[in-house]
Structure 1
Amino acid sequence: MKMKIYQIIIACLFLGSQASFAQNARFTTQGVIEYEKKINMYALIKDQVKKNADRSYYAQAFEDYQKKNPQFKVLKSTLKFSKDQTLFTPIEEDVVGNGFFDFASSDQNNIISTNAAAGTSVAQKKVFEQTYLLKDSTRKINWKITNEMRNIAGYDCRRANALIMDSIYVVAFYTEEIPVSGGPETFSGLPGMILGVALPYEHITWFATSVLDQPVTDDKLKAPIKGKPVDTKQLTNILKAATKDWGEWGQDALKAFLL
């Protein structure tokens, strides 16, 4: 009888501590996240060399590139968020161009405002010399959530996988400790903030390096307004027409600008 009473007391203490932990747990609902985008340029260039008929010329150009440039190109961006709204903005840096191997995917072309509650987004896209203002619904991504966990920028994150644009395999890591359905670029739709994204076959990653928990006022989340207005279908048709004679290079540019 004493043993049963003891077990009941222990159970009550355990439940009480769990309830206290839940009450005191802090969830970040406003703040600024800094991301690093890393592009494996060597892998990206190798793919192009394999696809090109004049492999010897490209191989020599690749050797020259390796002598002057590191394997990874690193770019930074921020994501401001509050409740259901986010604003993704590249950080302007004096980045040396890639010269002969100047891929659209190795730059940062977008400023993106997303309203998760309304399911809409506004993206200012720089496409070569033209700037477009893309207004449309947010991308629908059929995520498959897994049990794999990873800590990113101090937050416990769960892995989710998906396929977008018919052929791009995506690995994302999101945290429920930031209960905002957002992420870098156009990646969203998970029950928490995406702090890490990898496109293994595109040789690109975005990972959060810091999360600053602070108030973000509405004026800091204003959507971009500059650019030629288009929706996704219109922009797709424009890009397909512009890159139709570019071969593999054109297909890569098309994917990068529509990502």
Structure 2
Amino acid sequence: MNKIIITIALVIVSFTSFAQDFQGMAVYESKTSTAEFKSRMEGNKDITPEMQKMFEERMKSMFEKTFVLNFDKNASIYKEEEKLDAPGTQGGGNMRMMTSSFLGGGGTQYKNIKEKIFTIDKEMMGKEFLIQDTLPKLDWKMSQETKEIGGYMCFKATAKQKASQSDFRNFRMKKQEENKGKKEATEKPKSTGLMASDGEIPKEIEVVAWYTPEIPVSNGPENYFGLPGLILEVSAGKTTLLCSKIVMNVKDKKEIKAPTNGKVVTQKEYDEIVTKKMEELKEMNQSQGRNGNGGMQMRMGR
């Protein structure tokens, strides 16, 4: 514990040396585990090896992203880095835009750690929303465990977080009951989509963060903040965000201000809107299945 106290004291001293116009930039690589989806596909005899390969490539493009965090002492802008579609991937851009809002990307995320507020602009199925709310405060448990990330000494902190019901990165399959018969166990899976009827988003997830007091900014990717140093890595549920590049005192400073376009809603209201839309799509898919036209609820495009 003494090691943590000393590093926090160094952070307080370092804060005073920061210029008023200080600004930094950090790049984060995001990866979300897709093991459950791959396992589900392997159990579906209707999916050919070619279809599975295409599906895995699309899953990789959706679940592996790059984000840029531009920050000063009090606020930050966090945004997904735009990528060009590979040759021959028709509709890839539209698919990415459609799913990005559900998979931790899309829009600009403004965070003010001094005022404890955030603003995110999201586009969902042609409609623009502006989510404005207070930052969720996590009860961080500090640890003396350390590791090095990109040349920076980092300390470990853990917390429990309420899972957003509009973030489908945390989607998981429900466990099958042990007493189910063999016939039921060998039935063709109902779907391979992100909104399978036998899946759910947990109410709570575990968060493991690694922060460095060497960069005395109480900020990090997404809505993570509140630690005595910049968060360079965070694992939340099935997703890991790892910092791959840091630039301090950048010359090309970005304007750090909140986005303004879209219908203003709270995070709870936005989650309810997304949940309702997902239920509508799920019912539509189930109806198609009863009519013999079943398929993935969230198509991967052509």
1:86 maps to a residue whose letter is S
In the alignment, which residue of structure 1 is the partner of 2:38?
46
Tell me, in whole angstroms, the C-alpha distance in 2 between the residues paired with 1:118 and 1:107: 23
Tell me, in whole angstroms, the C-alpha distance in 2 between the residues paired with 1:215 and 1:67: 37
1:85 matched to 2:75? The reply is yes
1:94-243 → structure 2 map (5 Å cutoff):
94-95=84-85, 97=92, 104=100, 106=103, 108-164=105-161, 165=163, 166-199=203-236, 201-202=237-238, 204-214=239-249, 220-243=255-278
Q: How has the CA–CA distance of structure 1 residues 216 and 185 changed in structure 2, closer, same or farther, with 3 Å as cutoff?
A: farther
Query: Are the equivalent residues in 2 in contact too, given 1:196–1:205 (CA < 8 A)?
Result: yes
Tell me, in whole angstroms, the C-alpha distance in 2 between the residues paired with 1:92 and 1:130: 20
Larger radius of gyration: 1
In the alignment, which residue of structure 2 is the partner of 1:65?
54
Tell me, in whole angstroms, the C-alpha distance in 2 between the residues paired with 1:69 and 1:99: 12
Tell me, in whole angstroms, the C-alpha distance in 1 between the residues paired with 2:55 and 2:145: 35
Q: How has the CA–CA distance of structure 1 residues 142 and 107 changed in structure 2, closer, same or farther, with 3 Å as cutoff?
A: closer
Tell me, in whole angstroms, the C-alpha distance in 1 between the residues paired with 2:121 and 2:94: 25
Tell me, in whole angstroms, the C-alpha distance in 1 between the residues paired with 2:262 and 2:78: 17
2:46 maps to a residue whose letter is Y
Tell me, in whole angstroms, the C-alpha distance in 1 between the residues paired with 2:48 and 2:280: 23
Query: Are the equivalent residues in 2 in contact too, given 1:133–1:229 (CA < 8 A)?
Result: yes
Q: What is the CA-CA distance between 1:26 and the residue it aligns to?
A: 6.3
1:198 maps to a residue whose letter is S
1:184 maps to a residue whose letter is P
Cα deviation digits, residues 3-33 of structure 1 (max 9, x gap): xxxxxxxxxxxxxxx9xxx7xx967763111
Overall identity of the aligned pairs, in %: 26
2:207 maps to a residue whose letter is V
- Tell me the secondary structure at the aligned position of residue 55 of structure 1: coil
Q: How has the CA–CA distance of structure 1 residues 135 and 162 changed in structure 2, closer, same or farther, with 3 Å as cutoff?
A: same
- Between 1:215-224 and 1:167-176, the stretch displaced more is 215-224
Query: Are the equivalent residues in 2 in contact too, given 1:174–1:193 (CA < 8 A)?
Result: yes
Tell me, in whole angstroms, the C-alpha distance in 1 between the residues paired with 2:83 and 2:124: 18
Q: How has the CA–CA distance of structure 1 residues 60 and 235 changed in structure 2, closer, same or farther, with 3 Å as cutoff?
A: same
Query: Are the equivalent residues in 2 in contact too, given 1:109–1:127 (CA < 8 A)?
Result: no
Query: Are the equivalent residues in 2 in contact too, given 1:31–1:216 (CA < 8 A)?
Result: no
Q: How has the CA–CA distance of structure 1 residues 92 and 163 changed in structure 2, closer, same or farther, with 3 Å as cutoff?
A: same
Q: Which has the higher strand share?
A: 1
Tell me, in whole angstroms, the C-alpha distance in 1 between the residues paired with 2:211 and 2:56: 37
In the alignment, which residue of structure 2 is the partner of 1:256?
none
- Tell me the secondary structure at the aligned position of residue 46 of structure 1: helix
Q: Which has the higher helix share?
A: 1
Q: How has the CA–CA distance of structure 1 residues 167 and 46 changed in structure 2, closer, same or farther, with 3 Å as cutoff?
A: farther
Q: Name the TM-score, length of structure 2 as normaliser.
A: 0.61
- Tell me the secondary structure at the aligned position of residue 56 of structure 1: coil
Tell me, in whole angstroms, the C-alpha distance in 2 between the residues paired with 1:242 and 1:216: 43
Q: Count residues in correspondence.
A: 223
- Between 1:101-110 and 1:220-229, the stretch displaced more is 101-110
Q: Name the TM-score, length of structure 1 as normaliser.
A: 0.70
Q: What is the CA-CA distance between 1:235 and the residue it aligns to?
A: 1.0
Q: How has the CA–CA distance of structure 1 residues 57 and 234 changed in structure 2, closer, same or farther, with 3 Å as cutoff?
A: same
Tell me, in whole angstroms, the C-alpha distance in 1 between the residues paired with 2:115 and 2:108: 18
In the alignment, which residue of structure 2 is the partner of 1:3?
none
| Structure 1: tracts of 5 or more residues without a match | 1-17, 254-259
Query: Are the equivalent residues in 2 in contact too, given 1:150–1:158 (CA < 8 A)?
Result: yes
1:56 matched to 2:55? The reply is no
Tell me, in whole angstroms, the C-alpha distance in 2 between the residues paired with 1:62 and 1:26: 54
